[in-house]
Amino acid sequence: MLTPNQTNFSGGPGALPETVLQQLQEAMLAVPGVGLSILGISHRSDWFAGVVAELEGNVRRLMGLSDDYHVLFLQGGATQQFSMLAMNLLAGKTSPADYVLTGYWSGKALPEARREGPVRVVWDGAADGFRRLPRDEEMVFSPEAPYLHYVSNETVEGLQFRRILGRDEVPRVCDMSSDFLSFPADYQRFAMIYAHAQKNIGPAGVTVVIVKDEVLKGMPDHLPSFLNYHTQKAAHSIYNTPPVFAMYVVLLVTRWLLEEIGGLANMDAINTRKANRLYQALDDSDGFYIGRAAVPDRSRMNVVFNLRTPQLEAQFLEAAEAAGFSGLKGHRSIGGIRASIYNGLELPAVESLVDFMDAFRQRAMNTSGQGKGSAAAPKVGQEVEL
């Protein structure tokens, strides 16, 4: 097996566990027990029906979901769900749905929902530059809302909810695309959860949608078939040709979580160690590295930070790429640096990045002639070699 010469810190697609990659290497030639490449197995085969059944069961087991939850594997990413969930839950309603606006991706969901019906923004973090999450007392949720929608982890700004929002009598809908299957919670309090795969659980091409039966029963049945949750549920996610390869990868990742990691509590402990190590590097840098998110709201998936100047950030990114750290450039909407440390990224990779950051900081300070403890940047255009 070829050893990669770059470590993936990208916001997505994220890193996959090494054991999963090894199994995929074999499956590209022939899936064990099948004798065909994973790229050529029919989605109508008994084997693939078994993949879907096991995958549904694995997700339920990991999340502690009862059998009245339907687990679907759809296409179109979270972006498709911005529209599809509103078509099914909001269209024709007179009371507005509650939306919490905490960053880039929750902002993307809003205009799509407004195409289908009325929306009320419960809290808007724009005034604070989306650097923090709302406190409970800052939000007043409507008991008449058709549903409450929020994003559990904002990948761009590096913000993450570690609590469940809303009123239990109002259906909760949550976009968990970037922290899905990364920590345990009382997931049965949600009416609907959706997450595209390319952060924590697989490659691009498949989106997990979990919907409670009582909510599904209240959805209309007249929408176009592909956009109708009833149709997708009845077909067990094989209404049309599904992304067989991507779904097989997700299956392998859920097996890894269950059999090697030992469940979401253990995964959360690993993710916490990774995040703490990286945030400690920021906090101990005497202001050389500047964290973006408010400390209580820091994401354990996406560590977003800045350096003192854009020029120094550019030098950091160039040196990091040369040192084998890929995908650290911040999102185009805010710039800066973003280290995404999803489930598949191991702790040694984070340790290596921290070592690089410490070395870069020391070299930058020495080059600037400021000495230890100074956050001064090199002069514009001055190279920092590591």
Residues whose CB falls within 8 Å of the CB of residue 238, separated by 6 or more in sequence, listed in order: 43, 44, 48, 49, 52
Choosing from 98, 175, 268, 297, which is the catalytic residue? 175
Between CA 77 and CA 58 the distance in angstroms is 21
Q: Give the other-Cβ count within 10 Å of 55's Cβ.
A: 23
Between CA 49 and CA 72 the distance in angstroms is 13
Cα radius of gyration rounded to whole Å, the chain: 22
**Does residue 123 carry a catalytic annotation?**
no
Structure-block tokens of residue 107 = 């902002």
Amino acid at 26: E
Structure-block tokens of residue 209 = 């949608």
**Does residue 175 carry a catalytic annotation?**
yes
| C-alpha closest to that of 313 among 329, 291, 293 | 329
* Beta-sheet strand order (sheet of 69-74): 69-74, 207-212, 192-196, 172-175, 148-151, 97-101, 119-124
Are the CB atoms for 65 and 210 separated by under 8 Å? Answer: yes
**Does residue 47 carry a catalytic annotation?**
no
Are the CB atoms for 181 and 264 separated by under 8 Å? Answer: yes
- Beta-bridge partner residues of 112: none
Choosing from 98, 123, 179, 199, which is the catalytic residue? 199
Are the CB atoms for 162 and 118 separated by under 8 Å? Answer: no
Are the CB atoms for 315 and 384 separated by under 8 Å? Answer: yes
Choosing from 105, 123, 179, 256, which is the catalytic residue? 105
Sign of CA dihedral 87, 90, 93, 99: negative
Q: State the catalytic residues.
A: 105, 175, 199
